Amino acid sequence: MNDKIKKNPADYTEGSIIGSILKMGLPSMFGFLAQHIYSMVDMYWVSKLPGAESGVAAITFYANILWFFFSFNQLVGPGSVAIISRRYGEKDYDAAEKAIKETILLKLLFGGVFGIVGFFTVDKMLMLVGAEGEALSLGIEYGLIMFVGLGIMYATYSIYTAMRGVANPKMAMILMIGSNVLNLVLDPFFIFGWWGLPAWGIAGAAYASLISYSLTLIIGIVLFYGNFTNVKLNLKGNKSISFIAMWKILKIGIPAWLGSMSFSGSRLVITPLVATFGTAVVAAYGVAGQVFGFGIMLLVGIGLGLSSLIGHNLGGGKIERAKQTADQSIILGIGIMIVFGMLVYFGAGIIMGMFFDNPETIKFGVEMLRIFAFSFPFFGAFIMIEEIHMGVGLNTPTMIVDIIHSWGFQVLPILILTQVLGYGQTAIWWALACAGMISSTGFYIYYRRGRWLKQKV
């Protein structure tokens, strides 16, 4: 037994179910909201540079490439969530410590390798997704810096995952918020050259991100090794790191990775189709996508806390409580997104006006937001079901749904509507919204079968 474990580690498998969901999920939600606000503020500051549409379009193009590279993060992430939380629920703290260290090592390795690949291919990938002219040159400038820190970004997210996995969600939240506050403070100094600093423009946003992620990773490692978490990391633990265990983490994550690759790959097809309608449409698509992502982060934050909570319950043998926890979380997710969808629908003009002065760009963004708002409650259910399956290490169903959703319900209809039937960008927004509604309904029907309750890791 890990002799440095805290005497009374937190246990959220007792008491009120909705209370446990909120205790585990709300800190993660606030942390991820801070993360997404940082992305939106990045866009906001860049939109204040000369040639606003080109700068925002550059970040939008790069974001779709980053989605692709972050899919490789899924090779490690889902397996680490399932194993760390399950071992913690079983009170096998030595095994939890071992899994945390294995996860961080894998993330640094994968992030470093794919960061190198991205660094040397960023120009070609930006052209592949439709970037050209000033948007292309700005995207290259931004992307080169971001790819240097890809391994650090990967590993930082594992710090958050590990903290949630050992029932320290508030610590993860504080760390995420602190990281993003630092980034928000650095942004204008580096972008515009405040206080005599060089005015790096769009590159300044990337430098601010790189510094914030690096400091967060260092602080997170210090917290784990300094016995501030429910499970302490030691230079030499009671259970040694093993390649077999690392392969188990990867094996659990492979279906999630394939599903994420499918989704991000579909973005690489959809974004050039959006780009055919002009830079103003791409810029509006980027900001509207960030707003939609804000809602998704509400759920992903709660869902990541939920994933660990499901693992704790199943690790402790509390099957019925795990089922009730999952059911109530889906209802919660739908309710949150109904409220968010209403706010977005009626506030779309105000939101877009914060980023752009061009009436045409604002009009495109408002249209997209209002169409997307109808699908928000369905995505509320979808994200929660996805996180439930991740928490138990059953990622194949999510992979299948993601592939069908991305290519069968999004890319294929969009290609037909725009390239064959000649419809404009409005058809793309409706195709994306309807795909979410259909996929969510099918995923819920599968979820009711309850196979996830029998999954072993």
Domain spans of the chain, in order of start: 27-454
| Per-residue pLDDT at 129 | 78
In DSSP notation, 392-452 reads: HT--HHHHHHHHIIIIIIIIHHHHIIIIIS---HHHHHHHHHHHHHHHHHHHHHHHTT-GG
Exposure string for 302-338, b = 16+ CB within 10 A, e = fewer: bbbbbbbbbbbbbbbebeebbbebbebbbebbbebbe
Instruction: Look up residue 383 and give its two tokens.
Output: 């994200």
Q: Which residues, other chains included, contact 278 with Cβ-Cβ below 8 Å and sequence gap of 6+? A: none
Does 5 have pLDDT greater than 60? no
| Per-residue pLDDT at 8 | 58
Does 229 have pLDDT greater than 90? yes
Does 1 have pLDDT greater than 80? no
Residue 346 pLDDT level (bands cut at 50, 70, 90):
very high
- The pTM score is 0.74
* pLDDT top residue among 37 and 59: 59
User: What percentage of residues in the chain have a pLDDT greater than 90?
Assistant: 40
Does 102 have pLDDT greater than 60? yes
Residue 36 pLDDT level (bands cut at 50, 70, 90):
low
Instruction: Look up residue 423 and give its two tokens.
Output: 């419809």
Beta-strand runs (E) in 93-157: none
| Per-residue pLDDT at 366 | 93
The amino acid sitting at 125 is M
User: What percentage of residues in the chain have a pLDDT greater than 70?
Assistant: 96
Q: What is the mean pLDDT of residues 198-212?
A: 89
Instruction: Look up residue 415 and give its two tokens.
Output: 């290609």
